[in-house]
Chains A and B, each alone.
Chain A
Amino acid sequence: MSWQVWLYVAAVFIPLIAFTIQLLFVRLLGRLNAYLATGAIATAFVFSLIGFVSYFSQTEGLFKGHAVHQEGPASAGNEHAEHAEKPHEILVWKGSFDWITLGNDTMASAEQPSPSRLSIPLGVHIDNLTVIMFLMVTFIATLIHIYSMGYMHDDPRYPRFFTYLSLFCFSMLGLVASANVFMVFVFWELVGVCSYLLIGFWYEEKKNCDAANKAFVVNRVGDVGMLIGLGILWTTFGTFNISDLNHSLSDSRLRHEKNYRIVRDSAGDEVPVQLIETNAKGETVKTTYTIPYFMLAVAGLGVFAGCVGKSAQFPLHVWLPDAMAGPTPVSALIHAATMVAAGVYLVGRFYPLFTEEVLLYIAYTGGITLFIAASIAMVQTDYKKVLAYSTVSQLGFMMLALGVGGWAAGLFHLITHAFFKALLFLGAGSVYHSVHTYEMPVLGGLRKKMRITAYTMLVGTLAISGVPFFSGFYSKDAILAAAYYRVIVEPGQLKHIMLFILPAVGAVMTAFYMFRMWLLTFAGEPRGYPALAQDNHGHGHSAHGHDDHHAGNPYDHAHESEPIMTVPLLVLAFFSVFVGWTAWFGLPVDEAVLEYMLSYGAPVRSTDAWSVHWIAFASSIVIATAGIGAGLAYYAPPWAAIVPFWAPQRRYNVPVAFRRRFDPQKAAHRFSGLYNFLAHKWYFDEIYNAVLVQPTLALGRLCTEFDKRVIDGVVNGSAHLTALLSRMEGIFDKIAVDGLVNLVAKVVYVTGDWGRTIQTGRLRNYLMFLAVALVGLFVGVFAWIRG
């Protein structure tokens, strides 16, 4: 094992060690917990930075990788080409040891490897994707730890908060570094537990606990799907190792020669998969397994079901908006930047598993999710909820990108999104820290008092809206290009045109709701609570329960947050701009640097969407203009005139188009049906409650009744029967049974001195009947054995 493996193992375990120390010595350490946790994750960050530099200094030809895109498709059907399907062998650091071995090798002899043998190695697998994810997670987590020291400063459970954060960091890093899908599942559940604990961090409020439970249980639903997927893979291939499976499944013989997807036509009904493993002696063993095409698809869907749960995709997206009940740094770290992206990460990591139909399903799931969530985000009045739905929507973009074949595009967006969404959430936290409300209708004009927060959030808003030279632009561009290629350039795929329309429309909506949020919060003049009475936007207000702040104007006590909170904002703003840049100073004439780095390790040869890049670029510009324009038209404070800063006394009138504003309330009123539909989040919670939760609870009560009435009824009935029969005890008493009964009864009587309270008399009858029955049975059985 190379030293880098140990470096990454150390980076995973340092937060765990910190967690253990914090847990055991919480009384002793108190507030020092925060420094311990931050120190741990910062060390992990330094380690992953070393790893990052080391990795990309060792990968030759990284920037030549782009040449692959210009190459023609490899000649398929070459019998000698064994696994030459990937552009090139990528650099991987790995190491593992066996954690559990059930069944042993004597059974799994050479002739008959037993499927009932379960060997689970623990291992790390570090490739370019891992290295990049690691750097992103540790970097953002470090910043959020620092920010939290300010944000959570006055919380009585300050030390506990950091304890949970350390556990989360360990689990998340473990998830990223996992070499096999079993470990992914383990850490998957662990991040779920951390999420549960942190959503319910302020457990005094029932709403928060409900949200925590909902998150855990909804995720478990997805996890069952994932377990099914794992079960199929394990029973078929006998391994959980992701890279072995990926390697086998990216075999070009299984794949369509043009679009490189596993298609039934080229793979056949029974898919032969050649698995190459290294056995205990270090020899390479090739085994060909067959799996029905249908089962392969089910396995893919199962694994994807887990990702749907974790990444809050339709129809399991309902938990994420509620999860915002947790402290805002948690929302930024877990429910925006890292954990929820784990589903996308796993789809990317396990990409070769998915057959064509599954990829389409993934793409449509992403498309539907991004549309639903964006539409809901447009009408939320709670700025944190806007960001929550925005996260769901952006995760939908990533899923769609992966589904349409834009492997690097989807993961690229994952990284850029992590930066600007963390920035936006931390900015939202900074606002809440200052005004103690999440309701936008009572805010406004905060830019004057919170300059850093306002303008860093503007950077985030521009990035997510896809404005050129901001990171989000490049990744969204790549997604649109991939979608365009998939449905328009590929022949005969025009029926999936929605896969291009949905992200395009979604991107317009994104720009709209983000500008709406920014303008309502920071622009214009402070509105304050009295305005609430007339403001139709106050709809959801009472539901949010911040009643104690209703007096006065939150603007009055607003203030910029301390440097410990604003410095992370500035750092994140910097990266929200530059992380997506191309080598040409951000000019979109080539793929972004980060996208290169990602596509270097693409597990499957992909189609080249670069050719349609300019079309995507043009549509991106149109989309951003439309969305931002609409946002400004509705929510920007009207410009009366332009006052040049060099001559403040002069005023130039602006054209009427800039002075005129639409009234959002009128629009809401005119389309009140639609507005209510969106404001109620498409009624998902209500439907799930009526269709799933209540029936389950009712079924539970039914079972309880069944227990009481039917099962116990039968038991009591037979007991009565016994009692009835044993009234005839006089007859039996005289016969040979007597001795046996007395023996049993004596035991009862001898100890009965203490047990008098429970001595009922009837017990003796029961026993007697049992004894009689026993004798009868004895006779019967012996007769039967003889015969």
Chain B
Amino acid sequence: MLDELDRRLLRLLQADPGRGVPDLAEAVGSTPARVTRRLDQLRAAGVLLGSRTLIDWRALGYAVAVSLRITLDKTQSRAFDDFLAAARLVPEVIEIQTFLGRVDVRLSLIARDLADYQRIYREQILELPHIADIEALMTVATVKGDESLPL
């Protein structure tokens, strides 16, 4: 379980992952040695996994983002494994999630424009194995996107 110091450190790092240990120590009223030890413990426990750089795909010319909600043909025992393995080979797929619910799998797909989306959809997505149904939600705007945990 996380204690109050863990939560405060993680909140600060969620807001700014580049924040250094001396700065964190000052913000929480502790010593750099103690903060370093805590962060090491959080890493060892698998809570803190590191950080990654975010890419703005629009700056690279990918103006279209689509969320594809897919239902698989579950009469096929290998439906999930086959589908996921093939979906990983589509370069424009940037996220893959599996669910319990009406939707089995969701793919986040990016494309340069609608013509490019149409091409990827027809040539690569509809070719993926064991699809029973597919629905597309096109992203108009991201209202909130920081994915922070309410620690």
Answer yes or no: do A and B interact.
Answer: no
